Structure 1
Amino acid sequence: MRIAELAGRRVAIWGFGREGRAAIAALRARLPALALTLFCNETEAAAAQAFEPTLAVAGGDPDAAALAAFDVVVKSPGISAYKPALIEAQGRGTRFTSGTALWFAEHPQAPVVAVTGTKGKSTTTALLAHLARSLGLRTALAGNIGMPLLELLDAQAQLWAVELSSFQTGEAGPLPLGVVTSLYEEHLDWHGSRERYVADKLKLADVSRTLLVNGTQEALVERTAAHPHRVLFGVTGGWHLREGFIRRADERVFEIARLPVPGGHNALNACAALAALEAMGHDARAAAPALARFHPLPHRLQPLGERDGRYWVNDSISTTPQATLAALASLAGRPVTVIVGGHDRGLDWSAFVAAVKGQAGLTIVAQGANGPRIAKALREGAGVVEVVEVASLDEAVTRARSLVPVGGVVLLSPGAPSFDQFHDYAERGRHFAALAGFDPKTICGIEGLGLG
């Protein structure tokens, strides 16, 4: 559905986050006479009215009858497509779309690389934009990474590096290249089940002419085997890691130790970005030296510095147990006290427990809503690993400071969302930095968003 098709229809916006505000602004720019209703939290109503005085603002969560009063509802991505009220309204004839879907409808021929995955998607997308710009390409960096696509509605770019969450993959396309960096269970509260989460993520395959997939994940390789134009990264013959180098087939291209972002998973993300650039017809080998100049994204294994002989690392973006394991792997050989826990989405921590069992030099501080559940699983299955249980992040930092030895690392890698205590992972990361004794104002936003 294109924006022009909304003219003369009863239209509502659902959600007043950045995506919702971008949708309001885009529709006002293209259809200034269109009557718009906004569904938002009651606490947001005054700010919404100030943002756009012509809006009809309805505070509170709409029921099926309220949604069914509209022909089209432009929904923010955080609102589950499986909410009963939404499904009932759909049955009554209401059509639901999104800012992502509207942008793709307006740009059917855009040179888009859409990146999704349980972990690695933000860094891969930012790496791709960085590498493309090093070749002189006018590149847009947008999507779930921090800038809604509708904020760039009228922009033109030679390459679009777009991050898509699992909430957005079904709203994209068609597009030249889709990238899947990894696939683990996540967001079960939005999708309803692991199988539905996987299916929703892989909707990207249906709209991608070429699909680039992490070849180190056997299950992901199997699930995408039927795609007619699939390319693998992470395996011999393509872009992969071996003996300390990023390689293209047998050719040594870039030394992993020179990457500014630590960990083998980030080196694999670099492989994905190089493979994506190559799949779009650009010279990835020529771009590879620019990897050394990449600035790490905030809250993603972000080294904060040293205080009293202890080192602090902010990995607040970690929202799955697998992400926490990747963070620990990047610090192998050092004594680590890791802070885990947060909003409980019912994820399975058994693989994490098995992986850390008996790991020397590791202390785990479990906090937040799912902290007790994680601590119980660790005590029952992780053997000699020291586990401390506290209620909040503030308490966790205090305990971690006392537990980690001089020369060791305090790592915030929660493996869970932040919503039990914070608005989002960024607020959690800044609070952690402040508790550790660093200026949270120095943790800036993601570099390079928008056109560049």
Structure 2
Amino acid sequence: MRIADLDGKRVAIWGFGREGRAAITAIHSRLPQLPLTLFCSGAEAAAASSFDASLVVRGQEPDAIALSSFDVVVKSPGISAYKPALVGAQEAGVRVTSGTALWFAERPDARVIAITGTKGKSTTTALLAHLARSLGVRTALAGNIGMPLLELLDASAELWTIELSSFQTGEAGPIDMGVITSLYEEHLDWHGSRERYVADKLKLADASRTLLVNAQQPVLLERTSGHPHRLLFGQSDGWHVAGGAIRRETQSLFDVAGLRAPGEHNALNACAALAALEAMGFDALAAVPALAGFRPLPHRLQPLGEHDGFAWINDSIATTPQATLAALGSLAGKQVTVIVGGHDRGLDWHDFVAAMKAHAPHAIVAQGANGPRIAKALRDAGVVVEETDTLAAAVQRARATTPAGGTILLSPGAPSFDQFHDYAERGRRFAELAGFDGHEITGIDGMGAH
């Protein structure tokens, strides 16, 4: 469905975040006289009316009956496609679409590499854009990474590097190349089950003419084995990490220690970006030196600096236990106190507990809504753990526990919604509690097309 197809239809927008605002702007840029109804929270209603005076604003969450009075509903990604209201409306004949789907319909000739994965997708997407631009390729960086595609509706680019969340993978395509960096449990509240989450992630494979996946993930390999044009990264006959270096087959090309984004998992993200570039016909070998100039993304193993005798690292984006394990792995050999816990989404912490039993960091501080559950699992396994209610108390406890010269790492392994609006607010608050200026943590470099 293209934007022009909305002409004469009864159209509702559900969500007034950045995606919702982008949808309103894009639709009215093409169809300025089309009446639009917006469903948003009551707290957003006044701002929505100011944003576009022609909107009919309903400051409430709609049910199936309310939605069924429309022909088309354009929903924001954070609204689950499995909400009963949406399912009921669709059963009544309402067409549900999104900003992502509208962009792909409007730009069928765009040359797209779309990246998804439980972890690593943002860094890989940004790395890919950075490396392509180092080759002089006009590249667009957009999607779930922080810029809705509809904000770039009329932009020109030779290459589009687009991050897609599991909420968006079923809304995209066809795509020149899809990249799947990893696959773990995540967003079970949106998808309803682990199997549905995996199935939704893998919708990217169906939309991709060529598919690039992480060779180090057996489940991912098994689930994508039937793709007719599947490529792999992370194994010895292609781009991989070995002996402290990024390699292409037997050729050592870049010292992992030269990456400003620390950890072997980020070196593997670099391999994914280089493999994708190569598969799309670009000179990946010529792009390798540009790895040295890539700045780590905020809230992703972000070194804040030293303060009060400690090194502070902000990994607030870590919302799964596996991400926390990767963060700890990147700091092997250091005296680390890790702060874990947050909103309880019911994820399984068994692997984390087993890893901590085998090789725990200097100290673990569990906090937040699921802190008690994590702490109990650790104690039941014989692992020493500190426990606090809030992030502020956890930072205070970490200061008291960590030896001089040690590292205090925020890598929660859980979402932020128990105490904060999002992971970025949590990361900024951690920076402030550590003694830094949280306002200095800015957005991701390079958004847009250039």
Aligned to 1:142: 142
User: Please, which runs of 5 or more residues in structure 1 have no aligned partner?
Assistant: none
Using the alignment, how far apart are the partners of 2:341 and 2:217 within structure 1? 26
Aligned to 2:406: 408
1:13 pairs with 2:13 = yes
1:356 pairs with 2:361 = no
Question: Superposed, which structure 2 residues align to 1:58-137 within 5 Å?
Answer: 58-137=58-137
- Cα offset, 1:253, TM superposition: 1.5
User: Please, which runs of 5 or more residues in structure 2 have no aligned partner?
Assistant: none
- Cα offset, 1:249, TM superposition: 1.1
Aligned to 1:338: 338
Whether the 8 Å CA contact 1:274–1:284 is kept in 2: the answer is yes
1:434 pairs with 2:432 = yes
Using the alignment, how far apart are the partners of 1:218 and 1:149 within structure 2? 32
Aligned to 1:420: 418
Aligned to 1:451: 449
- Cα offset, 1:257, TM superposition: 1.3
SS of corresponding position for 2:209: strand
Aligned to 1:389: 387
Using the alignment, how far apart are the partners of 1:29 and 1:279 within structure 2? 36
- Cα offset, 1:252, TM superposition: 1.4
Give CA deviations for 1:50-69 in whole Å, capped at 9, x if unaligned.
00011000011100100111
Aligned residue pairs total 450
- Cα offset, 1:362, TM superposition: 2.6
Using the alignment, how far apart are the partners of 1:196 and 1:241 within structure 2? 31
1:370 pairs with 2:358 = no
Using the alignment, how far apart are the partners of 1:212 and 1:247 within structure 2? 17
Whether the 8 Å CA contact 1:362–1:386 is kept in 2: the answer is no
- Cα offset, 1:360, TM superposition: 4.8
Question: Superposed, which structure 2 residues align to 1:303-314 within 5 Å?
Answer: 303-314=303-314
Give CA deviations for 1:292-314 in whole Å, capped at 9, x if unaligned.
00011000000001112111000
- Give percent identity, aligned residues only: 74
Whether the 8 Å CA contact 2:338–2:361 is kept in 1: the answer is no
Aligned to 1:292: 292
Paired amino acid for 1:448 = G
Paired amino acid for 1:442 = E
Give CA deviations for 1:111-136 in whole Å, capped at 9, x if unaligned.
10000000000000000000000000
Give CA deviations for 1:14-41 in whole Å, capped at 9, x if unaligned.
0000000000000110100000000000
- Cα offset, 1:361, TM superposition: 4.0
SS of corresponding position for 1:114: strand
Paired amino acid for 1:438 = F
Using the alignment, how far apart are the partners of 2:433 and 2:426 within structure 1? 11
- Cα offset, 1:359, TM superposition: 2.2
- Cα offset, 1:358, TM superposition: 4.2
Question: Superposed, which structure 2 residues align to 1:154-165 within 5 Å?
Answer: 154-165=154-165
Aligned to 2:205: 205
SS of corresponding position for 1:386: coil
Using the alignment, how far apart are the partners of 2:114 and 2:360 within structure 1? 40
Question: Superposed, which structure 2 residues align to 1:237-276 within 5 Å?
Answer: 237-276=237-276
Runs of 4+ in 1 over 2 A off after TM superposition: 358-362
Aligned to 1:169: 169
Aligned to 2:40: 40
Give CA deviations for 1:236-261 in whole Å, capped at 9, x if unaligned.
11101111211111111211111111
Paired amino acid for 2:354 = A
1:281 pairs with 2:284 = no
CA RMSD of aligned residues (A): 0.7
Aligned to 1:153: 153
SS of corresponding position for 2:389: coil
Whether the 8 Å CA contact 2:338–2:365 is kept in 1: the answer is yes
Question: Superposed, which structure 2 residues align to 1:318-337 within 5 Å?
Answer: 318-337=318-337
TM-score by length of 1: 0.99
SS of corresponding position for 1:364: strand
- Cα offset, 1:208, TM superposition: 0.1
TM-score by length of 2: 0.99
